[in-house]
Structure 1
């Protein structure tokens, strides 16, 4: 079973994403900010990370840059899931090592399509 880390400061988004991902067949962990996510990755590196941009403590792009510098941090496929939809944010995410970008709100069909496109499914 593939593992996923859902990183979002919204408990509602984490629960919705968890439900969708578990139905697809992932084991899911959650983190409420980038710092907590880095700690979870240090304990067990996930196969896939669904990542919000705007969070307290450490935002998504800061987390992604730090993740990619840690041992094994180049392995997880990272998909941003955010309301930030301008080209600057998308370009920064891709340059930092994200594989894809999902706009909020999203549904299972959109999520599954992105997972297929990045090779997780």
Structure 2
């Protein structure tokens, strides 16, 4: 929703537009400073990893597991409390990430601590802390 031109990154103007639409009274200078805090690699844009890192940091700092549950629920398509490689594959492809089913199986196995070949909420939460 933030990425208006579909270039897979958020610019200062896109961030400013979103904040304005939600009633923010931040000045352009304040938005630029906010952008500098989120933009970890200094390229002038917020990519998906930077956005996720910021979102996780905000959720943890605010003590909001609800934020993480909302993110988890986006991937948990069948609402069984687990993210399967297939669910991850479907969502990532909808988001425009070109990854194979095998890539998704590897991603899941990298965070799957209990060897059930799925990611539960606690595993998801820990993976977001990295």
Same fold (TM over 0.5): no
- The structure whose RCO (Cα within 8 Å, separation 6+) is larger is 1
* Structure (1 or 2) with the greater helix fraction: 2
TM-score (norm: length of structure 1):
0.28
TM-score (norm: length of structure 2):
0.27
Q: Which has the larger radius of gyration?
A: 2
